[in-house]
Every structure is written in structure tokens, then in C-alpha cells.
Homo-oligomer: A and B are copies of this chain.
Amino acid sequence: MKIGIVGLGLIGGSLAHDLGRHHEITGVSRSSATVAEALSQGLIRQGGESLGLLGSCELVFVCTPIGLTLETIRALAAVLPPETILTDVASVKAAIVPAAEALWPNFVGGHPMAGGEAQGLSAARAGLFRGRPYVLTPTPRTPAAACTALEDLVGELGARLVRTDPETHDRAVARISHLPVFVGAALLLNLAASGDPTASTLASSGFFDTTRVGGGNPQLGAAMAEWNRAALLAELCSYRDHLGRLEQAIAAGDWQAVEQRLGECRKTRREVCEGGI
């Protein structure tokens, strides 16, 4: 299959690593140095800075930052034949999928849930998606053939296929991905504002783990908030309620209730880590 990838960062580069073994990959990046690097590593068969290079591709992955996804699809619509399948990798879907479908009917929304702290082509690697969820969000308008083609590629990546609608996806990632960013961030802001050198000296693995995603890439965090604002605000609101109820139990000195709720937490985490509550 002739596959195009726009954006050769962590996700686009890792797709090239895995799909390049059985497919012919054309890569497009805004950076000529990145294209040169991808060519020299043998990750792509050909590439450049122009979307026009993708005219003969049967399927194109749009792997730009979220904020450039729709304008990239708009630009691709001017150069691709209508049979080309387009898909994206943005971590939010409700604000992308309907607009993308309007620009390109042969579109399937996607979200491979993989990544890490490092960014860019240098962080890309083979096997990044293996065993990880790869969400597809087809709608009633999505052509069945496009969805099938993409499902086959998800299978080749060794990822776990999850199909859902854009709104369900966005609520879910607000709960388990976007909310934890802001919950952890507030722990860091609280520590910084305290100016407490002892706390900083004593901070250890518990604090580091709890704040890992909160102390991550600020552009990515802000983009999550911007593109998934309504779902994230709803989660922040319900989160505040749950934290407030724990706080009330502590203020009331009801240690039995505190222990009972923490017991529910342990149970929930074990169930989720084992794959589903």
C-alpha cells in the first residue's frame, strides 16, 4: 500500500518505523532536516516539505500537532484524489471529526494512545503502538472501506483496536488523560507557591509519579484543554466534588470513611490496571 505521513515526529515517525516494513511510505514535514533524517534512516521511501508529494498515496496519516490538523486536511483536499483515505492521530476527536469529514468525506478519525515524554523524530521507535489502544471513531458518514483499511493497519501495528464515537472518546480521555494533567499540575503549583525547601528535599517517587504528566509538555497540555474544553471542565467539576468529599471526611475525623473510600480507590485502580472496571 502507498502510505503518506504528514508530520514526522514521535507518532508519525513511529508509524513509519512499523508500517515501512510492508508498505511504501512517503513522508512530509515542515522541516527539511527532519525529512533528510527520515530518509537517511530509511524510514521513508521518499519525502519533502510539499503535500503535493502525496498525490499517489492510498492512505495518509495526518500526524501534526492538534492545532494544525484541520488546516492540513484542508490543504490535502486540494491535492489528493478522492479515493485517498485520510486519518488523523489527534488526542481529541469531537472538535476534529465532523470538520474533517466536511473537508474530506473519505476520512476516519483515529487516536493511537501511545507516546512518552520525549518528542520528535529522534524519539520515534518501532513497536511504540504494540499492545496500546488505538481508537477509531467512525461515524455514520464514514465509508466502510476506509474504516476496514485502517483497521487492518492497526492490526499490523499490534495495537488494541477500540471503536467508539467522537464524544464518548473525548469524555473518556478527559477522565483518564487530560484531567490527570491538571490534577498533577496543581500539585506542582502548590509546592512551588509554598517555597518550602524541606518539601522539595523530601519529594520522592510518590510525588514524582503523581506529577509526571502534570509536569509534561506545556503546549500539549494547553492544546488538550483548548480542544477538549467542555469535557475537561465537566471532569474538573466532578473531580472537585470527589476531592471535597474526601476533605470533608478528614475534617470530620471520620477515619473509617476515609479508609473505606481509599479501599474503593485501591480496588478501582487494580481493576483498571487489569483492563476494565
Contacts of A215 in B (CB 8 A): 265-266, 268-270
State A85–B201 Cα separation when bound (angstroms). 27
* This chain: copies in complex: 2
> With A and B bound together, what is the CA distance between A219 and B262 in angstroms?
8
A179's partner among B176, B187, B209, B240 (CB-CB below 8 A) is B187
Task: Take A198-B169, A258-B222 as given contacts and tell me if A229 and B253 are in contact as well, using a CB distance cutoff of 8 Å.
Answer: yes
Q: How far is the CA of A217 from the CA of B267 in the complex (A)?
A: 10
Chain A interface, >50% SS class: helix
**A276 B197 Cβ-Cβ under 8 A:** yes
Q: For the complex, give the distance between the alpha carbons of A236 and B132 in Å.
A: 34
Chain A: interface residue count, which band? Answer: 35 or more
Select A272's contact among B200, B240, B243, B259, beta carbons within 8 Å. B200
Query: Considering the chains assembled together, what is the distance between the CA atoms of A57 and B180 in angstroms?
Result: 49
Question: Is A177 within 8 A of B268, CB to CB?
Answer: no
Q: Which B residues touch A75, using CB under 8 A?
A: none
Residues in A211-253 with C-beta less than 8 Å from chain B: 211-219, 221-222, 225-226, 229, 232-233, 235-236, 238-240, 242-247, 250-251, 253
Decide: A183 and B183 in contact? CB cutoff 8 A.
yes
Stretch at the interface among A40-48, A100-108, A143-151, A188-196: A188-196
Contact of A194 among B175, B216, B251, B255 (CB under 8 A): B175
Of the residues B182, B232, B258, contact of A221 by C-beta under 8 Å: B258
Which residues does chain B contribute within 8 Å of A268, judged by CB atoms? 188-189, 191-192, 215
Interface set of A (CB-CB < 8 Å, partner B): 113, 132-133, 135, 162, 164, 168-169, 171-173, 175-177, 179-194, 196-204, 206-219, 221-222, 225-226, 229, 232-233, 235-236, 238-240, 242-247, 250-251, 253, 255, 258-266, 268-273, 275-277
| Given A189-B246, A206-B213, A222-B258, 5 other A-B residues pairs in contact with their CB atoms under 8 A | A133-B204, A190-B242, A201-B276, A206-B212, A221-B258
